Amino acid sequence: MKDDRMKETAPVSSVGADEEQSPKNIADVSVTDRSGYDNGNFCSHGGQIKTVTMNSLLDQTFEPRPPVIDTLLYCGTYIFVGPPKIGKSFLMAQIAWHVANGIPLWDCPVRKGEVLYLALEDDYARLQGRLSRMFGEEGTDNLLLSIRAGTLTGGLMTELEQFMREHPNTRLIIVDTLQKIRETSGEQFSYGSDYEVMSKLKEFSDRHRICILVVHHTRKMDAKDSFEMISGTNGIFGAADGAFVLQKKRRTDAEAVLEITGRDQPDAKLTIEFDLERCIWKFKEKEGLVIKKMPDPILKAVQEFVKEQAFYDTPSVLFSKIDTGLKQPNALTRHLNARVSELFHEYHVLYQTDRIHDGRRIRLEYMNEEA
């Protein structure tokens, strides 16, 4: 898929003016650190504090983080909660199958990738029956399932690291449920403990640029805010990148409301309905904040320019070729640096930067929507 190609080819390097950079500034960004800026551009103040100037930050090009499911699920760690036996595991299997096959879910585009589904409250016979009932014989090798995993202090992170080494195309990991992987101790329900649990998963998802979806339960007490119904302390919700809450008015209802909030998407409320025959959730309607995004004239100008032919030259040459209304080549490259994902996914332009002996180069290539 086109986003996979970009992830493989787009380096994390900086773009600024055309002047040549010192060799010490050409170091690659550490995968573990994921700071995104060159080693020569930040200053260490002792310990973990490292600062970068605003100008240096604006001159960086970060890898894009494409959605897993557009408008629904993004890279990061999300918590998915609902009362017991409401159908969470059916929805997890449904999400896993759609991502593994790259098939749209509820008309939302899906980016295909491998999926690890840790169904820790199931056995394989139950999983087989559930998946067969939901999808018939339409299986896939992209969906990998396990009913066992270590806890967060009992080897889970090491197991996940090994899995990622063996399956680098993984896009989604589902943990069903949180209680099966968390430590048991006298302080398991403290804010600090809850926050640490989610932070470990978030650090992993950020470093590997994947999504982790963690299934959890709601508390028995009602709340005006649905997200206050997440069982445990606010540390779980606070450390996550977003949350889903699935609720029914009555347990016997087929219809349910799925509320969504997150750092990368506007809040939304979906009405979905459970198909008792196929055991899948069907979309009925959506309400929420509708944001009409205005076209970016600079990105549009870049798109029109590279539709004719690919570009590979200095920022100054690109600046001279495109009427952007900006005053300097540096302003153009900074504009593109901050919009790498938008340029690629909405305008279908692959943007890369290279450093060679006599300065910096920008590479732009138009890719049609089917690429």
Residue 70 lies in a domain: no
Strands (E), the chain: 42-44, 50-52, 76-82, 114-119, 143-146, 170-176, 211-217, 242-247, 255-262, 268-275, 280-288, 311-313, 349-356, 359-366
Residue 128 shares a structural domain with residue 51:
no
Indicate if 199 and 267 belong to the same structural domain: yes
How many domains is the chain built from?
Answer: 2
One domain, residues 278 and 320: no
**3-state class of 314 per DSSP?**
coil
User: Residue 241 falls within a domain, yes or no?
Assistant: yes
**Are 223 and 298 part of one and the same domain?**
no
List strands edge to edge, sheet with 255-262.
Answer: 143-146, 114-119, 170-176, 211-217, 76-82, 242-247, 255-262, 268-275, 280-288
Of the three residues 288, 305, 322, the one that is the final residue of a domain is 288
145 lies in the same domain as 185:
yes
Same domain, yes or no, for 312 and 169? Answer: no
Which structural domain, as residue segments, surrounds residue 96? 76-288
Q: Which residues pair with 366 in a beta bridge?
A: 349
At 289, which amino acid appears? L
Q: Is residue 69 part of a domain?
A: no
Query: What is the Cα–Cα distance from 290 to 310, expressed in whole angstroms?
Result: 35
Cα dist. 107→45, 257, 264, 309 in Å?
49, 17, 19, 33
User: What's the pLDDT at 8?
Assistant: 38
Final residue of a domain: which of 239, 268, 288?
288
Residues 134 and 231 in one domain: yes
Q: Are residues 116 and 40 in the same domain?
A: no
pLDDT at residue 63 in the model: 75
Q: Examine residue 52 and state whether it is found in any structural domain, yes or no.
A: yes
What is 165-200 written as a DSSP string?
Answer: HH-TTEEEEEEE-GGGTS--STTTTSHHHHHHHHHH
Q: Return the pLDDT at 294.
A: 80
20 and 41, same domain (yes or no): yes
Residue 242 placed within a domain: yes
The CATH code of the domain that includes 127 is 3.40.50.300
- Asked whether residue 371 is assigned to any structural domain, the reply reads no
Q: What is the pLDDT of residue 221?
A: 60
Give me the tens of pLDDT residue by residue for the chain, a chain 371 residues long. Answer: 444 444 433 333 333 333 333 322 222 333 334 444 445 567 877 777 888 888 888 888 777 778 899 888 999 999 998 888 889 999 999 999 999 999 999 989 999 999 999 999 999 999 999 999 999 888 899 999 999 999 988 899 999 999 999 999 999 999 998 888 886 554 455 767 777 888 899 999 999 999 999 998 765 666 565 555 555 556 676 778 888 999 888 878 889 999 998 887 778 889 999 999 889 999 998 775 545 568 899 999 999 999 988 999 999 999 999 988 888 998 999 999 888 888 887 888 988 888 777 778 898 999 875 44
In a domain, 321, yes or no: yes
Separation of alpha carbons 368 and 371, rounded Å: 5
Q: Compute the distance between CA of residue 371 and CA of residue 152 in angstroms, rounded to an integer.
A: 40
Q: How many angstroms separate the Cα of 25 from the Cα of each of 209, 263, 312?
A: 24, 32, 22
Same domain, 181 and 250: yes
Residue 282 counted as domain residue: yes
Q: Which of 245, 273, 288 is the last residue of a domain?
A: 288
Q: Report the run of H or E that residue 358 belongs to, with start and end.
A: none
Do 202 and 98 belong together in one domain?
yes
**Alpha carbon distance 205, 262 (integer Å):** 15
Residues 103 and 57 in one domain: no
